[in-house]
Amino acid sequence: MYLIVWFSLLLGSAVPLASAEIVYSHNFQDVLPHPHTAAGLSDFAHFSLVQPSYLHSRTKRQISSTKLNQDSTEHINHLAVKYSINNTLYILDLILNRDLLPASYFEKHQQDGAYVIRNRTNAKDIELCHYKGVLRDVPGSWAAISTCDNNLRGVIYDGSELNYIEPLLTNQSTTIRHPNVSLSNPADSNGLSQHILYKHSDFVSHDKYQCGYKSAHDKLRTKRDTLTRHDTIRGPWNANIKSRYLELVLVVDNKLYNLFRKSTKDVYTHCKDIVNVINALYEKLNIFVALVGVVIWTETDEIPFNTNGDLTLNNFLTYRRERLVREHPNDNAQLLTGMTFQDGVVGKALKGPICTYEFSGGVNVDHNSAVGLVATTVAHEMGHNLGMEHDTSSGQTPECKCPSDRCIMSPSSSSISPTEWSSCSQEYLALAFDHGMDYCMRNKPKALFDGPVCGNGFVEDGEECDCGLESSCNNKCCNATTCMLHENATCATGSCCNFQTCSPHPAGRACRTADRECDLSEYCTGDSGVLSG
């Protein structure tokens, strides 16, 4: 089943916040979807209000939910999102991110001095309403969107910058006023609320957010330059056809829980929103992040907190080593906190310990209502755990290239939306993987929402190929709508498949040469597109 979601732009153009009069008949905390939304508005020079409505793709009639039916927790697999800005029409093609939650997913919080643990072993026990996809006909675009509670929240990368969308939760007695528009009764007859839409280019608070990691560029530059001169470093996604899978646990402190008005449901959804965006960022590196579980300190924090980020990080890593990883095995754990660290630091992590039980973790300030901003912070700290250093402040040096002005491992935020990984980050990652630091990331966790879904990019039972969504599939050998081979095609995937002829390369062709003394080259067999060692 497919849906189209229509955005009607309520403001003809974005209104400068400095000149905007915003009047609410309730307190911010009563009407806005996230505890930081009031602060989030002040972080952007402009924003727009949009009124979404859902339309069925075939009948064009208005639909109130992406759920399969009113009483179901299941959501449709494919979703089209249609919206218009400044008379320009955009269509998002999305697919449910069924790999976001593994079968081992759990939710855990404190109650009456003990922990309540809900192991979600049955897909019907949990609602998955998180999608990933692309903007139709826009090269390089991507999106990570959730439709939980009939609200849209997430990010849309339009090929040049990030756009953040989140719901504006008001009731019908609330009036919102701007110089150019007055909006009363913002909830429409279909029950959908108005939404706030930001562009990252309007982000104005970029000087106050930075990573607290102390770079060791000077110590490592000689080693990396030597490696660059004498070796052609191919990313692990080229050197090894196997994807990497990172099993992540998020821990939420008591202050952030209270900022969410003590709603465990909202916190669990917020964590899934964040990891859904992190997934979109790491897919570029062929790394897929599964949210193993969420721990909420609803009554008391289990570690001492300090405005010194280093002390808080050390305390959290001790907690992970002594408690968390023993009770809930994971590859990496990240703390989300509602407190503020010194000097504008929003994240801290150590470099290179991704698969260790002692040091694979980080601490992150949940500093803004825009999910994409927080997700980028967490992705950045995870990058340190994966062995990455900071890019230079400019992001561009002769030995370090970034597709845009700044990349994800930039030491501080900016008006440039960080959505790419620099060449240095990719080299650090390849070096770490070459040393076997990815040993815990080679197993794909069983998905909680199992079963083949055509369009998710994974070849599953009953499929001959899967090149992703139809609008972004560039594989002429694979039928994107059926995930079966086109007529006369004998392969559509693998290093030994000739994608021009859709047939296997001849036997004996080297599809991967040995990278080091103890490695073995891999050769094609002539009868399959998949290599064999």
Domains of the chain as residue ranges with CATH: 3-96+127-202 (no CATH), 210-441 (3.40.390.10), 474-533 (4.10.70.10)
Stretch 5-19: mean pLDDT, rounded?
39
Residue 22 reports pLDDT greater than 60: no
381 labelled catalytic: yes
Cβ of 471: how many Cβ atoms within 10 Å?
18
Q: CB–CB of 235/430 below 8 Å?
A: yes
Q: State the chain's mean pLDDT as an integer.
A: 79
Question: Quick check: 235 pLDDT over 70?
Answer: no
Phi/psi for 329 (5° steps) reads: -55, 135
pLDDT at 14 over 80: no
Task: List, as residue ranges, the binding site for Zn(2+).
Answer: 380, 384, 390
| Mean pLDDT, residues 277-283 | 95
Q: Which of 215-224, 402-411, 448-457, 513-522 has the highest mean pLDDT?
A: 402-411
Looking at mean pLDDT, say which of 11-20, 34-43, 145-154 comes out highest.
145-154
Report the Cα–Cα distance between both ends of the chain, in Å, rounded: 41
Q: Pseudo-torsion of CA 310, 353, 385, 292, nearest 10°? A: -100
Q: Active site residue: 381, 389, 420, 464, which one?
A: 381
Residues with Cβ within 8 Å of 465's Cβ and at least 6 positions away in sequence, in order, are 459, 475, 477, 478, 479, 483, 484, 485, 492, 493
- Look at the alpha carbons of 136, 140, 146, 151 in this order and tell me if their dihedral is positive or negative: negative
393/485: higher pLDDT: 485
C-alpha dist (Å) from residue 260 to 116, 255, 305, 369: 19, 9, 19, 11
Instruction: Look at residue 73 and tell me whether its pLDDT is greater than 90.
Output: no
Percent of the chain with pLDDT strictly greater than 90: 39
Mean pLDDT of 405-423: 79
**Phi, then psi, of 279 in degrees rounded to 5:** -55, -45
CA distance 20 to 181: 10
Q: What is the pLDDT of residue 463?
A: 86
The confidence band for 377, taking pLDDT boundaries of 50, 70 and 90, is very high
Structure confidence at residue 339 as a pLDDT band (50, 70, 90): very high
Output the pLDDT for position 24. Answer: 28
Task: Decide if pLDDT at 272 tops 60.
Answer: yes
Which are the contacts of 366, defined by CB distance < 8 A and separation ≥ 6?
36, 256, 259, 336, 337, 338, 374
Residue 9 has pLDDT above 90, yes or no: no
pLDDT of residue 263: 95
Alpha helices, H only, 192-324: 217-230, 236-239, 254-259, 264-282, 309-319
pLDDT of residue 227: 38
Highest mean pLDDT: which of 89-98, 397-406, 422-431? 422-431
Q: In this predicted structure, what is the pLDDT of residue 205? A: 61
pLDDT digits (tens, 9 = 90+) for 298-314: 999 999 999 999 999 99
- By the 10 Å C-beta count (0-12 exposed, 13-18 middle, 19+ buried), 431 is classed as buried
Tell me the three state secondary structure of residue 335: strand
Residue range 77-104: average pLDDT?
Answer: 85
What pLDDT is attached to residue 241? 52
What's the predicted TM-score (pTM) here? 0.79
pLDDT exceeds cutoff 80 at 394:
no
Percent residues over pLDDT 70 in the chain: 73
- Whose CA is closest to 319, among 330, 308, 111? 330
More reliable by pLDDT, 176 or 50: 50
Indicate the pairing of strand 194-199 with strand 3-9.
Answer: unpaired
